[in-house]
A and B are shown apart, each in its own frame.
Chain A
Amino acid sequence: MKKNGVFALAFNALVILFMLAPLVIVCLVAFTPGLSLSVPTDNFSLRWFKAVFAHSDLLQSFKNSFWLGFISASLATLIAVPAGLAITRFSFPGREFLNGFFLSPLMIPHLVLGVALLRLFALVGATGSFIWLAFAHVMIITPYVLRLIIAASVGFDQSCENAAQALGANSFTVFRRITLPMILPGITGGWLLAFINSFDEVTMSIFVTAPSTVTLPVRMYMYATESIDPLMAAASALTVGFTLVVMVLIDRIYGLDKILVGGK
């Protein structure tokens, strides 16, 4: 295969620059000592980071988002593991339909899900409820976990399961001792991917959060539509840092490239 020419490499450099530019600028501006959104040149300051940690609304929203992501990713995993095994270990009429049904939130714009859930919440009086918000998040992130679990459970040799069964293990023991350990990387990878998707979700959440349950991205969106100051840059830089930590975890546990490109 021929190597890339100079032109191709320059194109690549430009694309990479384009992809990194907004993230880098946010992190640089966060260190500005001034009041305007400019890149600091001579002295750097942590004043806006201090301001973030003194901003009780932002802290509350971070806590909301963190626990929301934690609870809904865990619930989504509890739902997706048995569903994934049902889809990969049994052949039954309606299997394709079930798979499509569980992946369908990926096809529906989050905006539409947001208005639909707002209607439901208004009718059942769930507006402002944290647990209903968590269920809404579980629905949108289940597909991510399910896909990884399906990939993990068709990817290993099923004769191990058959052998255990033939040796007299009941189906729960087979699951606990054979299947679960084999698909564990898929489960933890899926959990992390679900967590970060819940943590980042804005468009649906903006419709169904109340002042007490506002998540971090929704708070930041609201803030940015009203005023643009370096406080947002500092909060964004911290979010980027937090996301990097999750990325490293995903990479260690499952492989970041595998999760991003999809499949195995």
Chain B
Amino acid sequence: MTSLSRLRPWILSSPGIFLFFCMLVLPLVLTAVLSFNVFDHVTGIKNQLTLEHYVTVLTDSYYNGIFWRTLWISALTALLCLLIGVPEAYILSRMSNPWKSIFLLVLLAPLLVSVVVRSFGWSILLGPQSVLHNLFAALGVGPIKLLYTESAVIIALVHVMLPFMVIPVWTSLQKLDPEVQNAALSLSAPPLTTMRRIILPQIMPGILSGSLIVFGLSASSFVIPGLLGGRRLKVVATIVYDEYMHELNWPFGAAVALILLTVNLLIMVTYNRMVEGRYKKSIG
């Protein structure tokens, strides 16, 4: 009886474990192996092992350029989401219902709309016949090419990622005790000091985890650079796709994808450690 009851949670979760093993662990292991396989453009994937693909990605200036572009686009997206999302969450938290819930919903509900639709919307807005374009023309700012540039990709990324910044900041704002703020104010702290000394430190974990999520998701985003960056502006995700679908060089594509995964996980883990180590103590 005791041994059976000890097994019960494992029996209950066995369908999930089986599925995750087949569809997650096994494919990732296979891909890791694949990334070390020799590839020949005539005969295809061979069973010999090589480090060639990793060496190429890490040393070739073309691929280095693409990695750097992906990194700075993601970092800038995270920064912009921070600059927009944090004040916006704070402003919302000071509103009263029903406006508070309505605006929060408008801000977050686009998460449930397909990213293809949202990117397509931006390609209309930033395209050559668009409203924005006419607006710029009317203001006398010559014809600005936006579509198929880094700016277009960043604008759409900020739009898609903003909810991921607002959610953790909003959650940590909800935990604030307004009395502490009032105490600071009644002790005649100026609003800016209250902001800096009272509010900001308390919502810092939310801000950090939001930036982290936004950075990670932007670095691996595929649809937005694919639709708004066009064919020439490549990022890591789009070259993985090209290697797999056009060049058919799967081992090389696998190496690029795994480097992306590693960078992503490393940033997440170190950031998490940092946030936890620093704030778990101070918050209790």
CB neighbours (8 Å) of B84 from chain A are 15
CB neighbours (8 Å) of B69 from chain A are none
19 contacts between A and B (CB under 8 A): A4-B95, A19-B159, A22-B125, A78-B15, A82-B16, A86-B8, A90-B9, A108-B261, A109-B264, A112-B258, A115-B31, A120-B22, A120-B26, A203-B221, A216-B114, A217-B115, A239-B113, A260-B104, A261-B108
Per-position contact with A for B4-32: 1 when CB-CB < 8 Å, else 0?
A: 00101110110111011011101110110
**In the complex the two chains form, is A102's CB within 8 Å of B16's CB?**
yes
Known: A82-B13, A119-B30. A260 touches B109 (CB 8 A): yes
The CA-CA distance from A231 to B159 in the complex, in Å, is 23
Residue of A nearest to B109 (CB): A247
- CB of A164 within 8 A of chain B? no
Given contacts A112-B260, A139-B20, 19 further A-B contacts (CB under 8 A): A1-B182, A9-B91, A15-B84, A19-B110, A83-B15, A104-B24, A112-B258, A116-B28, A120-B22, A138-B23, A139-B24, A142-B16, A203-B221, A203-B237, A220-B120, A224-B227, A232-B120, A261-B104, A261-B167
Residue of B nearest to A22 (CB): B121
- CB of B78 within 8 A of chain A? no
- CB of A98 within 8 A of chain B? yes
CB distance from B91 to the nearest CB of A (A): 5
Known: A117-B23, A256-B105. A25 touches B16 (CB 8 A): no
B19, B167, B181, B245 — most chain A CB neighbours (10 Å): B19
CB neighbours (8 Å) of B23 from chain A are 117, 120, 135-136, 138-139
Known: A15-B107, A92-B6, A139-B19. A111 touches B127 (CB 8 A): no
CB neighbours (8 Å) of A82 from chain B are 12-13, 15-16
Q: From the candidates B13, B22, B91, B216, name the one contacting A8 in the complex (CB within 8 A).
A: B91
Residue of B nearest to A102 (CB): B16
**In the complex the two chains form, is B181's CB within 8 Å of A217's CB?**
no
The CA-CA distance from A92 to B244 in the complex, in Å, is 42
**In the complex the two chains form, is B167's CB within 8 Å of A29's CB?**
no
Q: Which of A50-90 contact B (CB under 8 A)?
A: 78-80, 82-83, 85-87, 89-90
Interface segment out of the listed B48-56, B249-257, B273-281: B249-257
Q: Which of B24-51 contact A (CB under 8 A)?
A: 24, 26-28, 30-31, 34
- CB of A207 within 8 A of chain B? yes
Per-position contact with B for A110-143: 1 when CB-CB < 8 Å, else 0?
A: 1111011111100100000000000110110010
Chain B contact surface mostly? helix
Residue of A nearest to B227 (CB): A224
- CB of A38 within 8 A of chain B? yes
The CA-CA distance from A164 to B136 in the complex, in Å, is 69
CB neighbours (8 Å) of A228 from chain B are 120, 123-124, 127
Residue of A nearest to B111 (CB): A260
- CB of A101 within 8 A of chain B? yes
Q: From the candidates B127, B237, B265, name the one contacting A37 in the complex (CB within 8 A).
A: B127
Q: Which of A1-38 contact B (CB under 8 A)?
A: 1-4, 8-9, 11-12, 15-16, 18-23, 25-26, 29, 36-38
The CA-CA distance from A80 to B181 in the complex, in Å, is 41
**In the complex the two chains form, is A21's CB within 8 Å of B121's CB?**
yes
**In the complex the two chains form, is B240's CB within 8 Å of A115's CB?**
yes
- CB of B220 within 8 A of chain A? yes
Residue of B nearest to A92 (CB): B9
**In the complex the two chains form, is A202's CB within 8 Å of B223's CB?**
yes
Residue of A nearest to B265 (CB): A107
CB neighbours (8 Å) of B220 from chain A are 109-112
Q: Which of B204-220 contact A (CB under 8 A)?
A: 216-217, 219-220
CB distance from B115 to the nearest CB of A (A): 7
**In the complex the two chains form, is A87's CB within 8 Å of B9's CB?**
yes
Residue of B nearest to A88 (CB): B9
Q: From the candidates B17, B30, B159, name the one contacting A116 in the complex (CB within 8 A).
A: B30
CB distance from A204 to the nearest CB of B (A): 9
Q: From the candidates B107, B131, B244, name the one contacting A115 in the complex (CB within 8 A).
A: B244
CB distance from B104 to the nearest CB of A (A): 6
- CB of A243 within 8 A of chain B? yes
CB distance from B78 to the nearest CB of A (A): 15
**In the complex the two chains form, is A257's CB within 8 Å of B121's CB?**
no
CB distance from B190 to the nearest CB of A (A): 12
**In the complex the two chains form, is A116's CB within 8 Å of B27's CB?**
yes
**In the complex the two chains form, is A83's CB within 8 Å of B16's CB?**
yes
Residue of A nearest to B178 (CB): A1
**In the complex the two chains form, is A12's CB within 8 Å of B88's CB?**
yes
Q: From the candidates B91, B162, B265, name the one contacting A19 in the complex (CB within 8 A).
A: B162
CB neighbours (8 Å) of B6 from chain A are 92
Per-position contact with A for B167-198: 1 when CB-CB < 8 Å, else 0?
A: 10011000000100110000000010000000
CB neighbours (8 Å) of A83 from chain B are 12-13, 15-16
- CB of B68 within 8 A of chain A? no
